[in-house]
Structure 1
Amino acid sequence: HGALVDYRKTLRGSLRQGGMPLELKWRDRKQRMRPLVLICDISGSMDRYARMLLRFVHALEQGLDAVEVFVFGTRLTRITRELRRRDVDRAIADVVASVDDWSGGTRIGEAIKTFNYEWSRRVLRSGATVVVISDGWDRGDPDLLGDEMARLQRSCRRLIWLNPLLGAPGYQPLTQGIRAALPSIDHFLPVHNLQSLETLAALLGEDDESPPLRRSQRAPGRATARA
């Protein structure tokens, strides 16, 4: 497409219709959008969110040229091909059938390591944005997760982590997994309502040429962003 998805209008329209499917809205632009890579947690603790989020991801895959999608529980699986089916229900059924660890355990660090070593050079091109979607509950090694998140951040233009628990009153990022990952996350955001989705939309819709302000460049106390 020569146009850029208007993420704000797309998300507003989706929520007016009760969620999904999404009808993509477009706005003109001079350049193509930056590549987008989504890495989604489909472990047991994310079960209530996974299918809803995959419907959103499916709409992006259908509408954009440069989207790669992976899911993980205890292992990483690329699902870009499955999401190319136009029918969203059949696409998600294909995803579930292709994933061995749906609604199982979680090893985020090992999944990110697999991405870094097997996929990053293939899909992180032209200043890609990477979006990790997870609640951060992890049974793996937190030191491994911290190391691999740092490696991933160095490889992409912007690293966003969406946590569906972040919008809950009183939530604090205290799990070992989240604490290990936070130093390398550029934007730590909730994904639970219109305001949080519009914050994400604003980030994804940016087409400026200047590099983003990385977490390490921000003033103390402003390391993470919440909607």
Structure 2
Amino acid sequence: MTPAGGPQPGGKMAANVMHFARLLRRAGLPVGPSDMLAAQEALGLIDIGRRDHVRTALRTTMVHRHEHEDLFNQAFVMFWRDPELARTAAAMALLEAAKEKRPERAPPGSRRLAEAMASPQEKRPRPQDEPPQIEADMTVSERERLQQMDFEAMSAADIANAKTEIRRLALPLSLHRTRRLRPDPAGPHVDLRATIRSSLRHGGEILSIDSSRRVTRPPPLVALCDISGSMSRYAQILLHFLHAVANDRDRVSVFLFGTRLSNITRQLRHRDPEVAFQLVAHAVPDWSGGTRIGEALSLFNRNWARRVLGQGAVVLLITDGLDRDGATGLAENMERLHKSCRRVIWLNPLLRWDGFEPKSQGIRAMLPHVDEFRPIHNLASLRELVETLSRPSNPRAMDAWRVAL
């Protein structure tokens, strides 16, 4: 089959398609060898001189998700050098000169695309006559050091590595039996209705007994995360964990609270983390502000508890317990929250200190109404949380804290 117009793509065009696919892959799009071959075949069926046809052909073969279209469009313009881009930019500059200049936020994915466009640094080859020298005295694995480092003490490079480790964490939850039944030939329950229905196919004669089994599924997970000034650094990193959990399993609800309560479940459903966090930034106006834990829990109990705490939900309460309003209404709302769910796990970064004591009014009001009290300040504590959620709760684990009250 010959192209609709223009020569058969080959030579430099084939190499350019390969480099463009590599650019998309470095930017985070799942483009494989089969997609490159499909793009080559698609370019052979269109008019190469039509830019819109080339864009459509490449987008059809290389983009598999709707959320990747914006990143693809930016990459296409940057890689193939739109000839109208300079003319459009000059016209926009003339229009913007008459208006007040305002800083505009870069579109989602532009930072990753810029990093992908940058050519990777070439490593200098080691001389063959010099054997590699490894100093093993008093060295610690970089990954082990990262596991024990406090989130608040991490540099920008450490935070980037920590986010990569967080995305690899899987969150297992113990299965719970529901009221629903599903057909199962080896089930322990006799399904009388299904038995009679199947007997009608044989003139009312019962030839077999149908059975069923109760459906088991993980319980809903609800996260209430504090984003006040004292918790902002931890919340920024833990949001990557909550984003990975929200995209890995269903029935996950995430709320942020500072001076008000914000539901960001819909924003975190976006698979691209950069786009999801930009949506969260627009939806949450009180980041790094004060803390009103009692008022936030009151709003949650009144507006959201009946919607998201059904079927034995597990609640992750992420806060340091330092309330600006003291303990006003905190004990009552914590008691109601505890009675509305199966399990409340309080994650407090202050537990990283060995000499921590529950002396503040907010912590003393909240402790009697939680099932587990755990630290959350580094990757090691986050892995322990993942292991804890896969096991049933231990009521005796809170005895020492209750005695301290």
Q: Could you tell me the TM-score, scaled by structure 2's length? A: 0.47
Identity rate, percent: 49
**1:219/1:165 CA distance change after superposition, 3 Å:** closer
79-88 or 140-149, which deviates more:
140-149
Question: What is the DSSP-based 3-state SS (H/G/I as helix, E as strand, rest coil) of the residue aligned with 1:51?
Answer: helix
From 140, 147, 156, the counterpart of 2:341: 156
Following the alignment from structure 2 to structure 1, what is the Cα–Cα distance between the partners of residues 252 and 260? Answer: 20
* Residue 221, structure 1, aligned to residue 400, structure 2: yes
Whichever residue aligns with residue 98 of structure 1, its letter is: A
Structure 1 pair 90/146, CA: closer, same or farther in 2 (3 Å)?
Answer: same
Paired with 2:314 and 2:226, the residues of 1 have a C-alpha distance of 17
* C-alpha distance after superposition, 1:87-141 (max 9, x if no partner): 1122112112111211111000000011111100000011000011011111124
Match of 1:98 in 2: 283
Contact 1:35 1:67 in 2 (8 A): yes
| Shift in CA distance, 102/194, structure 1 to aligned 2, threshold 3 Å | closer
In structure 1, how many angstroms separate the alpha carbons of the residues matched to 2:298 and 2:249?
Answer: 26
SS in 2 for 1:31: strand
Change (3 A) 1:41 1:223: same
When the two chains are superposed, the root-mean-square deviation of aligned CA atoms in Å is 2.7
Asked if residue 116 in structure 1 is aligned to residue 301 in structure 2, the reply is yes
1:133 aligns with 2:318: yes
Aligned in 2, Cα 1:160/1:220: closer, same or farther, shift over 3 Å? closer
| Distance change >3 Å, CA 121–CA 26, structure 1 → 2 | closer
Once the two structures are superposed, residues 69-95 of structure 1 have per-residue CA deviations (whole angstroms, 9 ceiling, x without a partner) of 000001111000000111112211211
Shift in Å, 1:179: 1.1
Within 2, Cα distance between the matches of 1:191 and 1:203?
13
Instruction: Report which stretch shifted further, 141-150 or 189-198.
Output: 189-198
The corresponding residue for 1:188 is 373
Q: Which residue of 1 aligns with 2:216?
A: 31
Deviations 1:27-58, CA, capped at 9 Å, x for gaps: 89783211100000011111111110101100
In structure 1, C-alpha distance between the alignment counterparts of 2:279 and 2:339, rounded to whole Å: 32
Q: Which stretch shows the higher mean deviation, 179-188 or 135-144?
A: 135-144
Q: Which has the larger radius of gyration?
A: 2
CA-CA distance at 1:18 after TM superposition: 2.6
Q: CA, structure 1 residues 26+213, in 2 after alignment: closer, same or farther (shift >3 Å)?
A: closer
Distance 1:190 1:120 in 2: 25
Q: 1:47 maps to which residue?
A: 232
After superposition, the Cα gap between the structure-2 partners of 1:214 and 1:112, relative to the gap in structure 1 and judged at 3 Å, is farther
| Unmatched segments (≥5 aa) in structure 2 | 1-143, 149-159, 176-214
Matched, 1:78 2:263: yes
Which secondary structure does the structure 2 equivalent of 1:81 belong to? helix
How far 1:193 moved relative to its partner? 3.1
Cα deviation, residue 26, structure 1 = 8.0
Say which is worse superposed, 188-197 or 90-99, in terms of deviation. Answer: 188-197
1:146 equivalent in alignment to 2:331: yes
Greater length-normalized contact order (CA 8 Å, ≥ 6 residues apart) = 1
* Cα pair distance change 1:219/1:173, threshold 3 Å: closer
Shift of 1:203: 2.5
Tell me the amino acid that sits aligned with residue 139 of structure 1: R
1:20 aligns with 2:163: yes
SS in 2 for 1:174: coil
Report the equivalent of 1:205: 390
Secondary structure at the residue paired with 2:161? coil
Moved over 6 A (4+): 26-30
* Contact residue 158 and residue 214 of structure 1 kept, 8 A: no
Q: Aligned in 2, Cα 1:15/1:121: closer, same or farther, shift over 3 Å?
A: same
Structure 1 gap segments, 5+ residues each: 1-11
Supply the distance in 1 between the matched residues of 2:285 and 2:307 (Cα, whole angstroms).
Answer: 23
Residue 167 of structure 1, aligned match among 352, 359, 362: 352
1:63 aligns with 248
Shift of 1:23: 2.7
> How many positions carry a matched residue from both structures?
206
Instruction: Provide Cα deviations, 1:13-32, integer angstroms capped at 9, x if missing partner.
Output: x9598311403548897832
Query: What is the alpha-carbon distance in structure 1 between the residues aligned to residue 340 and residue 232 of structure 2?
Result: 29
Distance 1:220 1:43, change over 3 A: closer
Which stretch shows the higher mean deviation, 181-190 or 17-26? 17-26
State the TM-score, normalizing by the size of structure 1. Answer: 0.81
